[in-house]
Every structure is written in C-alpha cells, then in structure tokens.
Homo-oligomer: A and B are copies of this chain.
Amino acid sequence: MHRNIRLLIAYDGGNYLGWQRQQQGKTVQGTIEQQLTRLCNEPITLHSAGRTDTGVHALGMVAHFRTQTTIPVVAFFKGINSMLPGDIRILCAEEAPLSFHSRYNAQGKTYRYDFFTGEVQLPATRLHRAHLPGLFDHRRLATALAGLVGTHDFSSFERTGSRDKNILGGRGAVRTLFNVCCFPQLGEADCWSLRITGDGFLRQMVRIIAGTLIEIGQSKRPEEELAAILSAQDRSKAGLTAPACGLFLETIYYAPPIFQSRVRP
C-alpha cells in the first residue's frame, strides 16, 4: 500500500544550512528525513514546496513523502516531534491524495521579513530579526510597495549566478507579486515587518527586496528609484541583500479544497 503524507513544518533556521539536504552539514530536510527513515524503517525522501537558504526560518513549510508503512498518521505529528530537536516542529501531518505534490500544486507563498531599526537590539529577539539601524519611516515606501505588485521581470532582485539563463526557458525571472506591505510590530519600538505574497520567488529575492525597501525607508535612496531598478534588470542597481535571520516563510497556498497551509499568525 502506498501512502502520501503531507507535513506542515516550522523551524528555526539559525542552526541549519538551509532546507535542502546536502552531503556535509546539518540541514532541515536531512534532519527530518533521518528521523522519518527511523520511524518508517524504510528510506524516506521529503519533497518540499520550496527551499530556504542558510539561516532562514519557516512557520509554514509544506512537504510530502511516500511511504509503505502502516503507522497511523498521528505518529508523523506527535511521534516524530519527540524525535526531532526543538528547533524543528511538525505542526500537522495528514494523509494526502497520491496526486498531491507540495511544489507542483503550490499556487503561491507568503514571506515575512522582520527587522529592527533602533540602535541597540534586545537580546531575546536578536536571532529572529535583522538589525538594520537607521531612522525608518514606512510611509516613505507607499509608491515603492505599489510598484512591486504585479507581474515583472525581477532580475534586479535575484542573486547573481543563480540561474543559467541559456538553459532555463519558461518564465525566466518573471514572477507575480500579489501583495507587498510594511507595518510596524505593535507594542515594539523600531520593529517592522515586510510581508510579501507572490506566485513564486527567485533566489534571495525577498531579502534583496527587503534590503532595497529598507534603504528607501531610511532615506538612503529616493522612493522613485524602485521603478528604475526593476526595469534595469540588473542586480547591481538594487540594494543590499538583507540578513537571513529576519526572513520567515509564512504560508504556502494551495487551491482549496486540496489543502491550505496554516500558520499561527
């Protein structure tokens, strides 16, 4: 009997070399696969909705795996959490149709970028918020945020050397952003979040967008520059790549009634 098990996963990326399994070094995928393999007593391969880079966190990553085991599905939730380190938690495990695929069926994703613009960062939150000091005014971002929404070639916001442009056909660097917003974190001085929802993201795209928007909010760039950066299709025109520790993969979207990635807000 084949089963397809779908997992909703949260992790603190600070101790991991990203999601993707690799030969050397600790990764989130490798750590979960190792325990699933123990639990199922057969080799398990996880397929995720996407990858996250070194140090990036997730609140609602989705991944699935095939197994022949007859273990009740609750074991992939309660049982596996007791085998995993505390910085990785399975929030939900469900039987999925055999046709379900975490990546192919995903229709979009939301990322959140948390940052602190004050001078001295409070210790308890320092590992989950980027520290980018400098007077920040989110009202300076209105035009820039609106300009990012829609379908654009985001080459200017992609890590250089990420794709071999001769091989890849398809949509290239064209992606659609549905919503981009910036808001202060309630009750916390100088703490801000950017939230970006789109149909897909290029390598380091959210962090380069965040770095560029933060420079605009800190008056280091004029707000009008964003349109020119986009149309230049040139990474060197955009801002710094903001640090990984502020980035959270929040939600993966699937067409109802298939599945909805849920996340505690």
Residues of A within 8 A of B (CB): 10-12, 57, 59, 77, 81, 86-91, 118, 120-124, 126, 128, 186-190, 248, 264-265
Copies of this chain in the oligomer: 2
* Chain A to chain B contacts (Cβ below 8 Å), 28 pairs: A10-B120, A10-B123, A10-B124, A12-B123, A12-B124, A12-B126, A57-B123, A59-B122, A59-B124, A77-B120, A81-B120, A86-B123, A86-B126, A87-B126, A88-B123, A89-B120, A89-B121, A89-B123, A90-B120, A91-B120, A118-B264, A122-B264, A124-B248, A187-B265, A188-B264, A188-B265, A189-B264, A189-B265
**Would A186 and B186 count as touching, CB distance under 8 A?**
yes
Report B-chain residues with C-beta under 8 Å of the C-beta of A81: 120
How far does the alpha carbon of A186 sit from the alpha carbon of B87 in the complex, in Å?
23
What CA separation (Å) do A10 and B118 show in the bound complex? 15
A56→B105 CA distance, assembly (Å): 45
* Residues of chain B lying within 8 A (CB to CB) of residue A87: 123, 126
Question: Which B residues lie within 8 Å of A190 (CB)?
Answer: 264
Name A57's contact: one of B59, B124, B186, B248 (CB within 8 Å).
B124
Give bound CA distance, A81 to B126, whole Å.
14
**A11-B123, A186-B187 are known contacts; what are 6 more A-B pairs with Cβ within 8 Å?**
A57-B123, A59-B122, A59-B124, A89-B122, A91-B120, A190-B264
- Say yes or no: A128 contacts B120, CB within 8 Å: no
Which partner residue on chain B sits nearest A84 by CB separation? B123
Contacts of A89 in B (CB 8 A): 120-123
Considering only CB atoms, which chain B residue lies closest to A248 in the complex? B124
4 residue pairs, one from A and one from B, having the closest CB atoms: A12-B123, A87-B123, A189-B264, A187-B265
How far apart sit A264 and B125, CA to CA, in the bound complex (Å)?
A: 12
Report the separation of the CA atoms of residues A126 and B122 in the bound assembly, to the nearest whole angstrom.
17
